[in-house]
Structure 1
Amino acid sequence: MNRLRKLHIRALAITIMAMLAATAQAAVSFTVQAPRQVVEGNKFNVTFVLENAEGSGFVAPEVGGAVKIYGPALSTSYSSSWVNGKTSKSSSQEYTMIYKASRAGKCTVGSASITVGGQRMTTKPFTVEVLPPDQAEARERQQRSQVQYDDPSTQSADKAVGANDLFVRIEMSKPRVYEQQAVVCTIKLYTKYQVSQFIPTLQPSFDGFLIEEIPMQPSLNNVEHVNGQNYMVAVLKKCLLYPQQSGKLTITSGNYDVNVVQYEQFRTPFGTMQQPVERKLQVKSNQATINILPLPEPRPSSFTGAVGKFNVTTTLKPASLKTYQAATFSYVISGSGNIKYIKAPSVTFPSQFDVYDPKNNVSVNAGGGDMSGTVTIDYTFIPQYAGDFDIPAGEFTYFDPDAGRYETIPVAGRHLTVAKGEGTPSNHYRLKNMDIRHIKTGDLHQQHAQHYMVDGWSYWLWYLLPLLAMAGLMAYYRKQIKERANVSLMRTKRASKVATKRLKNARALAARGDRTAFYAELLTAAWGYLSDKLTIPVSELSKDNIATELEAYGVDQSLRERTLRLLDDAEFAQYAPELASQPMDQVLDEAASVIDSLEKVKKAKQPTS
């Protein structure tokens, strides 16, 4: 029996030695764990962790801006695992110290060190942001009633959620800007409670602005000190606004449904317990007003609406030109400002060239307070004749809002040498050089005939037709002059045409699945159509005015409600595309249906006074 026991002990020893031999040694590290932000007067832990080694001679760091209350306290842990015949071990030593933040600002924690295997290991220094305390903390009674964002015991369910406990604020980066100058609009949620649900029910309206969204993901991961109190903050929306008119513009307030988490407290034999409960609130944001300065007059003739700071270069491809072969002359505009909305400069090409409409290639990035990048404007042309030609020099003018003046960049001209290529002139030039024909020789088979044209009816018809054509042309011309003098009529006539073009662009964006750009294009089409159809100036364009003008136009109530609902749904989807459940094709069909229905409405006669 003793011999058998010895054999078992020997086998166990061999197994343990094999396991130790197969054990993978983990990497040794010495790191620190600490919060990024604390509030003045609060305690916080700093833990130094030595992993996979045994250390000695721990030296605590020097800490500025905080007072040490306790530590270092040492705790040790070991763990091992055996997977697929291999054993791995890990261990850790944790040195925990407790500090109290003594003043607002930056708390600097220096390097800690420890000896491992005869060598010193150190941690990297770091800083902790110390926020000012709530002003109410100075008084004990107020402290008991004040809600603290980091203290669930103050967030009891028997307390009403006050206006200073949760609110939404619209903030503008500048109080005044010029037309077309960018201003950053930020919509923030400030709360002392955890938020379980946030739904916008009425988004702010940005009438009078072009909007460029700055992509971001809202999250309550920051803390800000506002009016003597600390809040968790989430950025709900951030965008660049480009005002399209001067004067005072207002961003209307938005409405939101918010669910916050409070705690019911009750006593048990084991002490006081807390149970989370939700409370639904309705929150309304503030309004934001900004003063828009008009661009100085007179405006240079070469100014096409560029506001910011830009550089301009030109390119020509290919370098060697031949007749009947396409070439491209390009304006390359780079810089920051309203670069996405710059109109194509006017370029004068030789009359012997076929020239096509310019095309824009935009590559911009929205961030840093403005859009920056490059826009390339391509002018495609086809030379019809060989020879030497010139594209005259030009100018590019932009307005610099920082300097408050127009800046002009000279654009050098181009001398073009066109060689003979293969092909034939386009139809536009095919009849040129055909005014002189070869003289026909030989028997012409001429015959002598004599008759009086005045005796035939065709003779008098040639006099009568020009008179009738002249009378008809004059009547048509007078009608055109009268219609063009009526600005309201001209806007109404082109409203459907412009909207149809915009909806076609929106359908292409829907096919690509770009929801944000789709709804932005759809809104532009709807607002522009209603502005032209109802002859409402952009500065007065609002849903209330649209409803009033639709009723005066003779639109029935059902169609008016469909029109306003289309605007509301599109604005909501643009603001929160991830919450929009309606398919884009269905929204697009509804928009086309609304515009088609409005086109069929005959304008009601206005009563005469």
Structure 2
Amino acid sequence: MNKIFLTLISLFFIVTNTFADEVEFTASSPKVVAVGEQFRLSFSFTARGSNFKAPDLRDFNILSGPNTSSSSSIQFINGKMSKSESYTYTYILSARKKGKFTISPAKIKYKGKVYKSNSIIIEVVKGSGNNQNANRGNNQGGRIQKSNIPASEISNKDLFVRVNVNKRTVYQGEHIIATIKVYTRLSLSGFEDMKLPSFDGFWSQDIPTSSQISLERENVNGQIYDVGVIKKEILFPQRSGVITIDPFELECNIRKRVRSSQSVFDDFFGSSYQTLKKKVKSKPIKITVKPLPETNKPSDFSGAVGNFKMQTYLDKKTVAANDAITLKVVISGNGNLKLIDPLKINFPADFDVYDPKITNNIKNSNSGSNGKKIFEYLIIPRHAGDFKISPISFSFFNTKTKKYLTLNSVEYNIHVDKGSEEQSTNIVTGFSKEDVKFIGRDIRFIKTDYFKLHKKNEYLFGSLTFVLNYIIAIMIFVVVMLIRRKHIKENQNISLLRNKKANKVSKKRLKVANSYLKQNKKENFFDEVLKALWGYLSDKLNIPVSELSKDNASSILQQSNVDNELIDKFIDLLNTCEYARFAPTTIDTQMDKIYADASKIISKLEQKIKRIRN
């Protein structure tokens, strides 16, 4: 425990020093405000700076500021600790007149260097008396009370939802960014019964957004709205023609001011409020999807659309027969990366080639799907000789140039030496592996030297051959019985049986976790990974489930002479899985890494514990 505590303290100081030099200076404010409306302008710096200089604010009335505040936080992400701090300089301003105004960058000094914030453009529109009165009313207190005011009184101009797309005409396979937004001039207290579009005809991917919907001002046809982003999706059309995006439906809870009576006390103590429910529905969106051109379409084109690069790596060019070679193909760029299938590669017929291991390292953002997809082929040459892997080609349609592009790798020459287990020194050319095997069975070579002939089925009772066969049969029977008795005894020893099957059981659980990973079922995935980790430890070291804890696990692993570094990785992975189960969002690449780390850690523990016990 003392070692773990000291390690955490050391990590704290290391992370603090590391993050101290990574500073940001950002300015933020509403994008749209009304004339005379008060709003907040903030400048945030992620360190303790000095000599803060505000920009020229002559186009606005300064009601307050600069007011200084600070905050700090410590986070554990994927088992790693990070510390962040922020110092904020805030102004309360009001706009004087209509127009678009640019607030230039502020300046601050830190460690002898001057940092500048970003500039901000603020649109000032004509003020609305109704809006201002409504905003003042929303800030008053009051009790929620039933009222006869129907929800139908709420105008569609005061509350509506939209599905905004960045493009309405695309090629098949070209990505579209769909952003679902709610627009309101009322006070919202929550949402219910959200019904997302089915996105039929599209392959869709989530863009991570905050679990908390924050509202920003936008100018829509001269009216100011509070606008919140509910969801973002990347859509890849899978067929040509006109595809309709279904309407988005949402039920909003609206906090509305009402008078409970004609009492003059309402003017002093504030009016009452009621919560109204209003269902809103977006309009359907039609997307025109153009088919990919047939002219100059490469023969190996399989549907990749975007802008990509290809890299190939061969780990060995000289190898002994029956030794493994790894060929890695990396496709990187922006587009429908996850839909790219393994490439067609012409391997020599003498090579055994296994299905590729596929790794996705892809991030979804407002610019689409970016990252890389890796195919790793395990190749085993079976006989000596010189072989070639022809250039690997990958074709895709570039939506910017509206042309097909084919990328080619180099040709790989592989020299295979005779292996220790190779049966034949002859190299047969012009035949496949199946042809060689068939010839070996079908035709026997003519014997030219002296040889003896024996009568077939000549077998005398009591001969030496008969006695030897009889003795061998008895010995085999005795060995089989001894092995069977040992197996029965081991099965009766439950702890020993659990110990032997611990690795096998954990692999089965990780296989289930991998299926959940492919289905993007995050909670199920992390549950299975945790079961695999805890289950392996319980079975391998015979720890009762009731006694499973991180402290106990760490202590028992130390007693088993497992390295502290491996123990720390095991505990960190447990922490990461437990945190990710309840985190609002988890990136796919993080799940891929967690799955890979779990497999490696269990494998290393298995090797270490076996070595120690043997």
TM-score range, shorter chain: 0.5 to 0.7
| Cα distance per residue 1:24-54 (max 9 Å; x no partner) | xxxxxxxxx9965662321437899xxxxxx
Distance 1:418 1:198, change over 3 A: same
User: What does residue 176 of structure 1 align with?
Assistant: 169
User: Does structure 1 retain, via aligned residues, the 8 Å contact 2:159–2:184?
Assistant: yes
Q: Distance in 2 between matches of 1:125 and 1:355?
A: 55
Q: Distance in 2 between matches of 1:175 and 1:324?
A: 55
**What is the percentage of aligned positions where both structures have the same residue?**
27
User: What does residue 286 of structure 1 align with?
Assistant: 283
For residue 182 of structure 2, the aligned residue among 189, 203, 224 is 189
The residue matched to 1:290 in structure 2 has which SS?
strand
TM-score, normalization: structure 1? 0.55
User: Does structure 1 retain, via aligned residues, the 8 Å contact 2:258–2:271?
Assistant: yes
Which letter does structure 1 place at the counterpart of 2:168? P
Q: How far did residue 379 of structure 1 move?
A: 2.2
User: What does residue 314 of structure 1 align with?
Assistant: 312
The residue matched to 2:362 in structure 1 has which SS?
strand
User: Does structure 2 retain, via aligned residues, the 8 Å contact 1:300–1:397?
Assistant: yes
Mapping for residues 42-191 of structure 1, pairs under 5 Å: 42-44=36-38, 63-67=57-61, 99-106=94-101, 108=103, 130-133=122-125, 137=128, 143-144=129-130, 152=138, 160-191=153-184
Q: Distance in 2 between matches of 1:47 and 1:391?
A: 62
Mapping for residues 373-384 of structure 1, pairs under 5 Å: 373-384=371-382
For residue 216 of structure 2, the aligned residue among 195, 213, 222 is 222
Q: How far did residue 162 of structure 1 move?
A: 0.8
Q: Distance in 2 between matches of 1:370 and 1:150?
A: 41
User: What does residue 408 of structure 1 align with?
Assistant: 406
- Work out whether 1:444 is the aligned partner of 2:453: yes
The residue matched to 1:64 in structure 2 has which SS?
coil
User: Does structure 1 retain, via aligned residues, the 8 Å contact 2:321–2:382?
Assistant: yes
The residue matched to 2:338 in structure 1 has which SS?
helix
The residue matched to 1:210 in structure 2 has which SS?
strand
More relative contact order, 1 or 2 (CA 8 Å, 6+ apart): 2
Q: Distance in 2 between matches of 1:281 and 1:270?
A: 28
Q: How far did residue 61 of structure 1 move?
A: 8.2
Q: Distance in 1 between matches of 2:341 and 2:54?
A: 64
Distance 1:150 1:367, change over 3 A: farther
User: What does residue 81 of structure 2 align with?
Assistant: none
Q: How far did residue 201 of structure 1 move?
A: 4.4
User: What does residue 350 of structure 1 align with?
Assistant: 348
Which letter does structure 1 place at the counterpart of 2:138? P
| Cα distance per residue 1:518-545 (max 9 Å; x no partner) | 89xxxxxxxxxxxxxxxxxxxxxxxxxx
Q: Distance in 2 between matches of 1:232 and 1:290?
A: 27
Q: Distance in 2 between matches of 1:353 and 1:154?
A: 78
For residue 251 of structure 1, the aligned residue among 245, 249, 253 is 245
User: Does structure 2 retain, via aligned residues, the 8 Å contact 1:149–1:232?
Assistant: no
User: Does structure 2 retain, via aligned residues, the 8 Å contact 1:509–1:518?
Assistant: no
Q: Distance in 2 between matches of 1:216 and 1:71?
A: 33
Q: How far did residue 332 of structure 1 move?
A: 1.4
- Work out whether 1:385 is the aligned partner of 2:346: no
Q: Distance in 2 between matches of 1:47 and 1:349?
A: 63
Q: Distance in 1 between matches of 2:513 and 2:584?
A: 19
Distance 1:66 1:180, change over 3 A: same
| Cα distance per residue 1:370-409 (max 9 Å; x no partner) | 2111111222221010110111224221111111111122
Largest Rg, 1 or 2:
1
Mapping for residues 160-559 of structure 1, pairs under 5 Å: 160-217=153-210, 218-265=212-259, 267-268=264-265, 271=268, 273-298=270-295, 299-424=297-422, 433=440, 435-437=443-445, 439=447, 441-445=450-454, 508-510=514-516, 514-515=520-521
Q: How far did residue 418 of structure 1 move?
A: 0.8
Q: Distance in 2 between matches of 1:516 and 1:124?
A: 40
Which letter does structure 2 place at the counterpart of 1:444? L
Q: Distance in 2 between matches of 1:191 and 1:62?
A: 32
Which letter does structure 2 place at the counterpart of 1:291? T
User: Does structure 1 retain, via aligned residues, the 8 Å contact 2:395–2:404?
Assistant: yes
Q: Distance in 2 between matches of 1:96 and 1:311?
A: 47
Distance 1:369 1:505, change over 3 A: farther
| Cα distance per residue 1:257-285 (max 9 Å; x no partner) | 21111123573187261333211111112
Distance 1:444 1:512, change over 3 A: closer
Which letter does structure 2 place at the counterpart of 1:515? K
Q: How far did residue 320 of structure 1 move?
A: 3.1
Q: How far did residue 286 of structure 1 move?
A: 1.4
Q: How far did residue 301 of structure 1 move?
A: 0.3
Q: How far did residue 338 of structure 1 move?
A: 0.9
The residue matched to 2:271 in structure 1 has which SS?
strand
Q: How far did residue 359 of structure 1 move?
A: 3.1
Which ranges of structure 1 fall in alignment gaps of 5 or more residues?
1-32, 49-58, 76-93, 114-121, 138-142, 448-503, 520-576, 580-609
TM-score, normalization: structure 2? 0.55
Which letter does structure 2 place at the counterpart of 1:243? P
CA RMSD of aligned residues (A): 4.6
Q: How far did residue 181 of structure 1 move?
A: 0.6
Q: How far did residue 65 of structure 1 move?
A: 2.0
Q: Distance in 2 between matches of 1:177 and 1:386?
A: 52
Aligned residues: 393
**Could you tell which deviates more after superposition, 304-313 or 242-251?**
304-313
**Could you tell which deviates more after superposition, 216-225 or 183-192?**
216-225
| Cα distance per residue 1:193-220 (max 9 Å; x no partner) | 2322212343211011101110112413
User: Does structure 2 retain, via aligned residues, the 8 Å contact 1:200–1:254?
Assistant: no
Q: Distance in 1 between matches of 2:365 and 2:352?
A: 40
Q: Distance in 2 between matches of 1:187 and 1:96?
A: 32
Distance 1:97 1:410, change over 3 A: closer
User: Does structure 2 retain, via aligned residues, the 8 Å contact 1:65–1:103?
Assistant: no
